[in-house]
Amino acid sequence: MKKFLLITIGIIAGITVLANLGAIIGLAISAAIMYAGYHYYKRSTSGFARFCWAAVGIIGLLTAIGNIPAFVGLLAIAALWYVYQKWNAREAVLFETDSDPFANFEREWKNITK
């Protein structure tokens, strides 16, 4: 049942990512424009250049806010990552440490003779 649930979540998240792929690419471009505006704003010396680069950064911010479906796509990517981690997770195996090497044999022999 657990694997079925993981497969179902993975398929739904994969379809959501593919449906929002264009918006995610647009968000990445908007983030790059915003970063460029910030970077060149910090490096500029004149007031007019600072104004222009601040305007570029604000435009990048507004286009990033306009890409709300991309945030849904990013949540779907996070869900895919979660499914991948849970699918490949190994169960913890607890080992019994006994000083007597024949203790395991005795325990198994009791299980067989029942």
Closest CA to 10 of 60, 59, 78, 112: 78
Q: Which amino acid is at 12?
A: I
Mean pLDDT of 77-86: 92
Confidence band of 38 (pLDDT split at 50, 70, 90): very high
pLDDT reported for residue 22 = 93
Write out the two tokens for 10.
């993975």
Strand residues in 21-111 grouped as ranges (E): none
pTM exceeds 0.85, yes or no: no
- Cα 104 versus chain centre, distance: 43
pLDDT beyond 90 at 93: no
**Which has the minimum average pLDDT: 46-60, 66-80, 97-111?**
97-111
